[in-house]
């Protein structure tokens, strides 16, 4: 049904394209203004024309990004064929999928599937994609394995953000401001100073704030009230019946009203800035060296997943006549009347402190008439602390996640020697070295059940590679490309461990002499008197090392090494001066990984008690290694690029087929069973011993998968001053071999069991074969159409209206594909992982002054106010995930000096 609106918009755009030639002044002027500008890219580690490069690549200038409201990599999703970008709230990280391939393990345990580079230098952490893009020359998105030239974690593609270089012979400066919905404020600026005939400096910055677009509320009815503002702690007593799920279930204190949160510092707000300082030195025509320092800081409240109200409303509940019907249990059954996809209730205010400091060096020396030496080096330091409400008022488990101190430090070095002559052989050879050290501390609290603390003080990654690639001109029209890379990765964890609380959650003031999991806040909870000591937040080693309080659940002294050879064999043929055909076969490699080494203790299944040794410690039964193997892909691709109609039309098309072996897929999984006494007095099993799966987030190898598709891109000037561009894709993905695993998506709802039985590792009824499932974020069809027209005013000024339409077919948000399987709960549509077909529309109108010194632009993004899910997780009766930003509008002004 949603197909009709975008189709109508597409027809309207096409009609505008046909009708507009009447606005042209004369034939000669039309011809002179219809030539598309040349775009240079560095996909082959040397500058080439976009249309002459035998690779599936999309490139965007800074103007393209600004027009679409794109400030960082995570917003690129609708601009690049077969690209989808979601957001993982737990790790404050984007999840980048290309051609249906992604890595959802964005923690220190995982590696991305799409490589990210800044000025050609590898960026290891996916959080790096959150850094603001400003004062950029262009962004290049390469699709298909890039293993020979770009190396690490580019099995399906890579994204390279290229900043603007200092200009030696010209002074430049500009400033821009922007204001928009939810009190958005943005200011940015740049200054380029030619210091001498050989040295230039360039400085740029960007600062952005915006209030939250969520309808956020604080809830004093949940157990932990430590961090709530005073007005929420002292909320008035509820007048009348309970309106929210937590108010209804609250049995431990008086029921209180919700308090509206301050949107300025609530989840899904923006509070970030960045600046960059670059120096370019060119003492001779043959030598250049650019040094860059860049700082990014995010001080927002972080993001929060929200409920899919449409799916929630499909749940079956009992009506007044005792019949099970749908439509009664939407978001209002959780949060109260009027709640929608952008409503959320929390008792833990969000906090994020993410900083990235990076230094990059780009050195080039043309030491002869035929060769050049290139040395690119980078250092990055990422620090993050974050606090977030995990349950968001959906369940009374009252869960929070706190990253107390997370630090990543990395260095990257790449040395290249490349040919520079115009002979029949163009080649490049080089060596790559990368090292990363991580240090993480934090804890997870399910205040009504469990507490876990983790400390990973020394997790390292070391990678080295050697590569070479050359293109030889076999004939005037035919070129052969051969590439090879050898890579070795070593990952190690020293001293890492997780600790889980062994104490009963029901701590009372009489226990104060023997602190348990939650010694600080319990005494300040509703219904309790006492003096909060703040002990929990002191992180006393004696507390966490006390075996009577905490026991090790993981001991991560582990190491793994993997090596592989990757290759590329390609041919490109100039059918005419304007049409190129190309084909290649290439493989990619993503190394295996080290997971948590999980400790299983001896336990009595009848009493849930743990026997102790003579020293009072639990007795280890076994340790479970969760390391995983590398994934490998072989891709065959046939493509064509054409520049037609005297340079007025650029067309690119490619068909690809990829065969994945041991594809890495990540999800929560039970490793073994543990036993516990049900402590919830509202449960039917109160006081009984229950079986629970010990769940960890781990990566597994999912046997074999196949991916095939077609991507078509176009850029057309159908008449003077008019331009139509975009793409269309077809994509088909499938897990092609047996992959039998316990079903870990929405298990409690789909199997109609409580949490423990639904995660019983020994219950084979919980297992499903995922053979035939589709990969996540891989819609069969997608279309993007952008249209703009330039009106030339008599004053010399210009007015440019723009409209952009993006449409995607239905797809899955995870690889579980719930509706492909049978479950005891036949009402799977209330809990599944499907995403319906959707579309978005962006619009703007821009005025450029006659001297091009200033411009002003009004814009609207997602103007039809579509609510689009980009991430899905099921549990606690509902599906939750990250969603699109609602319709928003604003105006921006730029001035150049």
Better-scored residue on pLDDT, 27 or 460 = 460
Average pLDDT over residues 271-280: 97
Given a cut of 90, whether residue 293 has pLDDT beyond it is yes
pLDDT value at 186 more than 70: yes
Of the pLDDT bands very low, low, confident and very high (cuts 50, 70, 90), residue 55 is: very high
Q: Phi first, then psi: what are they for 758, rounded to 5°?
A: -70, -10
- The answer for residues whose C-beta is within 8 angstroms of residue 169's C-beta and 6 or more apart is 194, 197
Q: What are phi and psi of 354, to 5 degrees?
A: -115, 120
Residue 875 pLDDT greater than 70, yes or no? yes
Per-residue pLDDT at 464 exceeds 60: yes
- Name the band, by pLDDT with cuts 50, 70 and 90, for residue 438: very high
Provide the pLDDT confidence category of residue 681 given band limits of 50, 70 and 90: low
DSSP state of 424: S
The pLDDT assigned to 6 comes to 41
Helix %, strand %, coil % of the chain (to 5): 10, 50, 40
Q: What is the average per-residue pLDDT within 481-500? A: 92
CA distance 868 to 882: 9
**pLDDT value of position 508:** 37
Cβ–Cβ < 8 Å for 361, 291: yes
Ranked by mean pLDDT, the top range of 250-259, 404-413, 683-692 is 404-413
Residue 574 buriedness (CB in 10 A; 0-12 / 13-18 / 19+): middle
Instruction: Reply yes or no on whether the pLDDT at 17 is more than 60.
Output: no
Token pair 């026997």: residue:
611
What letter would DSSP give residue 101?
Answer: B
pLDDT digit string, tens, across residues 413-437: 999 999 999 899 999 999 999 999 9
User: Is the pLDDT assigned to residue 648 strictly greater than 50?
Assistant: yes
Strand runs labelled E in 51-135: 56-61, 83-88, 93-98, 115-118, 121-122
What's the confidence (pLDDT) of residue 320?
A: 73
Average pLDDT estimate for 868-881: 87
Contacts of 460 (CB under 8 A, 6+ apart): 435, 436, 437, 438, 491, 492, 493, 494
Predicted pLDDT of residue 532 = 36
Cα(121)–Cα(151) distance, integer angstroms:
11
Characterize 137-159 residue by residue with b for buried, 16 or more Cβ atoms within 10 angstroms of its Cβ, and e for exposed: ebbbbbbbbbbbbbbbbbbbbbb
CA atoms of 45 and 41, how far apart (whole Å):
9
In this prediction, residue 504 carries a pLDDT of: 52
Per-residue pLDDT band for 77 (boundaries 50, 70, 90) equals confident
| pLDDT at position 882 over 80 | yes
- Expressed in angstroms, the distance from the first to the final Cα of the chain is 50
Section 632-648 average pLDDT = 96
Copy the structure tokens of residue 339.
Answer: 């709640």
Backbone torsions φ then ψ of 126, nearest 5 degrees: -60, -20
Question: What is the Cα–Cα distance from 243 to 221, expressed in whole angstroms?
Answer: 12
Whether residue 521 has pLDDT greater than 50: no
Kindly tell me if the per-residue pLDDT of 314 is higher than 70: yes
Residues 6 or more apart whose CB falls under 8 angstroms from that of 42 comprise 48, 120, 140, 160, 162
- Encoded tokens for 171: 């002074």
Which has the higher per-residue pLDDT, 518 or 707?
707
Q: Would you state the pLDDT for residue 679?
A: 66
**pLDDT value at position 527?**
38
At residue 204, does pLDDT exceed 90? Answer: yes
* Pairwise pLDDT comparison (800 vs 111), residue with the higher score: 800
User: What pLDDT is attached to residue 843?
Assistant: 97
H or E element, residue 750: helix 747-750
Mean pLDDT confidence for 575-594: 94
Range with top average pLDDT, 60-69, 238-247, 878-887: 878-887
Residue % of the chain over a pLDDT of 90: 56
SS (H, E, C) 528-581: CCCCCCCCHHHCCHHHHCCCCCEEEEEECCEEEEEEEEEEEEEEEEECCCCEEE
Q: Is 437 exposed, middle or buried (0-12, 13-18, 19+ CB in 10 A)?
A: middle
* Residue 297 CA, distance from chain mean position: 18
Comparing C-alpha atoms, which of 626, 698, 631 is closest to residue 664? 631
Q: Which residue, 403, 352, 364, 361, is CA-closest to 380?
A: 361
pLDDT of 842 over the 60 cut: yes
- Kindly tell me if the per-residue pLDDT of 678 is higher than 90: no
Tokens 């030339």 identify what position?
792
- Give the mean pLDDT of 202-228: 92
- The pLDDT value recorded for residue 261 is 96
Specify the residue for token string 């096409």. Answer: 14
Q: What band does 534 get if pLDDT is binned at 50, 70 and 90?
A: very low
Separation between Cα atoms, residue 574 and residue 640, nearest integer Å: 10
Query: 2: closest CA among 840, 750, 633?
Result: 840
Q: What is the pLDDT of residue 294?
A: 96
CA proximity to 651, closest of 575, 731, 725, 720: 725
Q: Between residues 10 and 448, which one has the greater pLDDT?
A: 448
Q: How confident is the model at residue 249 (pLDDT cuts 50, 70, 90)?
A: confident
DSSP secondary structure letters along 228-288:
S-HHHHTPPBP-SS--SHHHHH--SS--B--EE--GGGSTT-EEEEEEEEEEEEEEETTEE
**Residue 175, pLDDT score:** 98
| Phi/psi at 886 (5° precision) | -60, 175
User: Residue 354 corresponds to which tokens in the numbers above?
Assistant: 């993410």
Q: Which two tokens stand for residue 133?
A: 């893009």
Q: What is the pLDDT of residue 449?
A: 61
The DSSP secondary-structure symbol of 20 reads G
Query: What would the mean pLDDT of 62-82 be, rounded to a whole number?
Result: 86
Q: 40-49, 769-778, 846-855: which range is least confident on average?
A: 40-49
**How confident is the model at residue 732, as a pLDDT?**
98
Mean pLDDT value across residues 777-790 = 96
Query: Structure tokens of 472?
Result: 């030889």
38-47, 107-116, 365-374, 786-795 — which is least confidently predicted? 107-116
Residue with token string 């090790």: 552
Q: Are 179 and 891 spatial neighbours (Cβ–Cβ below 8 Å)?
A: yes
**Mean pLDDT over the full length of the chain:** 86
Residue 30 clears pLDDT 50, i.e. is over it: no
Instruction: Specify the range with the lowest mean pLDDT, choosing from 327-331, 459-463, 493-497, 741-745.
Output: 327-331
Task: Give the mean model confidence (pLDDT) for residues 283-300.
Answer: 96
**Among the ranges given (28-37, 655-664, 853-862), the one the predictor scored with the smallest mean pLDDT:** 28-37
Determine if the pTM surpasses 0.75. Answer: yes
Task: Report d(CA 784, CA 777) in Å as an integer.
Answer: 16
Residue 3: what pLDDT? Answer: 39
CA distance 621 to 601: 5
In terms of Cα–Cα distance, which of 62, 45, 58 is closest to 137? 62
Q: Are 217 and 267 in contact (CB under 8 A)?
A: no
Residue 324 has pLDDT above 50, yes or no: yes
Query: What percentage of the chain reaches a pLDDT higher than 70?
Result: 89
Mean pLDDT of 830-855: 96
Q: How confident is the model at residue 16 (pLDDT cuts 50, 70, 90)?
A: very low
Alpha carbons 484 and 364: distance in angstroms, whole number: 23
CA dihedral 11, 12, 13, 18 (to 10 degrees): 90
| Predicted confidence band of residue 112 (pLDDT cuts 50, 70, 90) | confident
Checking if the pLDDT of 548 tops 50, the result is: yes
CA 386/CA 301 separation, integer angstroms = 8
CA distance 625 to 598: 7
Mean pLDDT of 393-407: 85
Whether pLDDT at 572 is above 90? yes
Instruction: Using DSSP, state whether 30 is helix, strand or coil.
Output: helix
Q: Give yes or no for a contact between 57 and 140, defined as CB atoms under 8 angstroms apart.
A: yes
Q: How far is CA 54 from the centre of its chain?
A: 28
Residue 464: helix, strand or coil by DSSP? strand
Residues contacting residue 27 through CB under 8 Å, at least 6 positions apart: none
Q: How many CB atoms lie within 10 A of CB 27?
A: 9
- Where are the domains positioned within the chain? 503-546
Q: Which residues neighbour 440 within 8 Å (Cβ) at sequence distance 6 or greater?
A: 108, 403, 405, 406, 407, 454, 455, 456, 459
What pLDDT was estimated at residue 680? 64
């Amino acid at each position: 049904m949603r197909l009709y609106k975008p189709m109508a918009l597409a027809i309207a755009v096409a009609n505008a394209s046909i009708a507009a030639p009447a606005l042209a002044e004369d034939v000669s002027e039309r011809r002179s203004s219809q030539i598309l500008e040349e775009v240079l890219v560095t996909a082959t580690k040397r500058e080439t024309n976009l249309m002459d490069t035998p690779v599936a690549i999309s490139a965007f200038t800074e103007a393209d990004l600004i027009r679409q409201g794109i400030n960082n990599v995570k917003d690129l999703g609708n601009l690049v064929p077969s690209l989808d970008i979601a957001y993982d709230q737990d790790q404050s990280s984007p999840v980048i999928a290309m051609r249906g391939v992604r890595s959802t393990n964005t923690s220190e345990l995982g590696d991305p599937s799409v490589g990210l580079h800044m000025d050609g230098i590898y960026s290891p952490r996916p959080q790096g994609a959150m850094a603001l893009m400003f004062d950029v020359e262009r962004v290049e998105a390469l699709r298909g394995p890039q293993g020979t030239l770009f190396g690490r974690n580019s099995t399906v593609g890579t994204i390279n953000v290229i900043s603007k270089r200092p200009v030696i012979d010209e002074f430049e400066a500009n400033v821009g401001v922007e204001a928009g919905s939810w009190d958005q404020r943005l200011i940015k600026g740049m200054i380029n100073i030619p210091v001498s005939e050989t040295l230039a400096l360039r400085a740029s910055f960007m600062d952005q704030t915006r209030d939250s677009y969520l309808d956020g509320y604080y809830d004093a009815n949940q157990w932990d009230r430590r961090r709530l503002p005073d007005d929420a702690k002292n909320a008035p007593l509820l007048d009348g019946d309970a309106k929210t799920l937590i108010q209804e279930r609250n049995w431990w204190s008086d029921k209180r009203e919700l308090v509206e949160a301050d949107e300025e510092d609530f989840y899904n707000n923006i509070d970030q800035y960045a600046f960059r300082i670059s120096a370019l030195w060119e003492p001779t025509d043959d030598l250049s060296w650019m040094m860059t320092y860049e700082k990014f800081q995010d001080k927002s409240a972080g993001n929060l997943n929200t409920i899919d109200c449409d799916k929630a409303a499909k749940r079956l509940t009992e009506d007044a006549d005792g019949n099970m019907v749908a439509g009664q249990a939407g978001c209002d059954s959780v949060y109260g009347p009027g709640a929608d996809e952008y409503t959320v209730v929390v008792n833990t205010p969000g906090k994020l402190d993410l900083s990235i400091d990076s230094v990059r060096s780009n050195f080039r020396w043309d030491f002869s008439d035929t060769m050049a030496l290139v040395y690119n080096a980078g250092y990055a330091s990422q620090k993050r602390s974050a606090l977030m409400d995990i349950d968001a008022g959906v369940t009374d488990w009252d869960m929070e996640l706190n990253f107390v101190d997370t630090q990543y430090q990395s260095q990257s070095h790449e040395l290249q020697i490349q040919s520079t002559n115009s002979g029949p052989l163009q080649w490049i050879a080089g060596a790559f070295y990368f090292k990363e050290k991580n240090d993480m501390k934090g804890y997870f609290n399910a205040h009504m059940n469990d507490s876990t603390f983790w400390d990973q003080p020394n997790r390292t990654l070391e990678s080295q590679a050697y590569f070479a690639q050359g293109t030889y001109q076999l004939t005037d029209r035919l070129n052969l490309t051969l590439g090879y890379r050898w890579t070795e990765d070593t990952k190690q964890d020293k001293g890492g461990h997780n600790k889980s609380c062994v104490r009963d959650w029901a701590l009372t003031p009489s226990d104060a002499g023997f602190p348990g999991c939650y010694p600080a806040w319990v005494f300040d909870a509703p219904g309790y008197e006492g003096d909060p000591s703040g002990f929990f937040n002191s992180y006393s080693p004696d507390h966490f090392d006390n075996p009577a309080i905490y026991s090790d659940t993981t001991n991560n002294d582990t190491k793994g090494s993997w090596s592989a050879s990757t290759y590329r064999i390609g041919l490109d043929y100039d059918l005419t001066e304007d049409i190129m055909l190309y084909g290649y076969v290439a493989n990619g490699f993503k190394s295996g990984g080290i997971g948590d080494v999980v400790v299983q203790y001896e336990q009595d299944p009848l009493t849930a008690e743990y026997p102790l040794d003579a020293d009072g410690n639990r007795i280890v039964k076994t340790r479970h290694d969760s390391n995983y193997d590398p994934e490998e892909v072989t891709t065959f691709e046939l493509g064509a690029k054409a520049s037609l109609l005297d340079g007025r039309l650029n067309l690119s098309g490619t068909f690809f087929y990829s065969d994945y072996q041991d594809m890495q897929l990540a999800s929560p999984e039970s490793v073994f069973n543990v036993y516990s006494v049900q402590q919830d007095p509202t449960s039917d099993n109160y006081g009984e011993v229950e079986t629970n799966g010990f769940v960890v987030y781990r990566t597994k190898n999912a046997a074999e998968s196949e991916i095939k598709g077609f991507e078509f891109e176009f850029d057309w000037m159908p008449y003077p001053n008019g331009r139509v561009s975009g793409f269309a894709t077809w994509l088909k993905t499938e897990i092609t071999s047996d992959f039998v695993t316990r079903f870990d998506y929405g298990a409690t709802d789909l199997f109609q069991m409580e949490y423990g039985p639904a995660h019983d590792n020994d219950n084979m009824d919980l297992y499903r074969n995922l053979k035939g499932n589709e990969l996540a974020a891989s819609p069969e069809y997608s279309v993007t159409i952008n249209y703009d027209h330039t009106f030339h005013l008599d004053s010399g000024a210009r007015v440019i209206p723009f409209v952009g339409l993006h449409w995607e077919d239905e797809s899955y948000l995870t690889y579980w594909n719930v509706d492909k399987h049978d479950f005891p709960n036949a009402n799977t549509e209330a809990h599944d992982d499907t995403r319906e077909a959707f579309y978005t529309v962006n619009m703007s109108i821009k005025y450029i002054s006659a001297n091009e010194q200033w411009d002003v632009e009004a814009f609207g993004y997602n103007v039809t106010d579509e609510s689009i899910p980009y991430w899905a997780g099921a549990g606690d009766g509902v599906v939750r995930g990250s969603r699109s930003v609602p319709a928003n509008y604003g105006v921006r002004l730029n001035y150049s000096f």
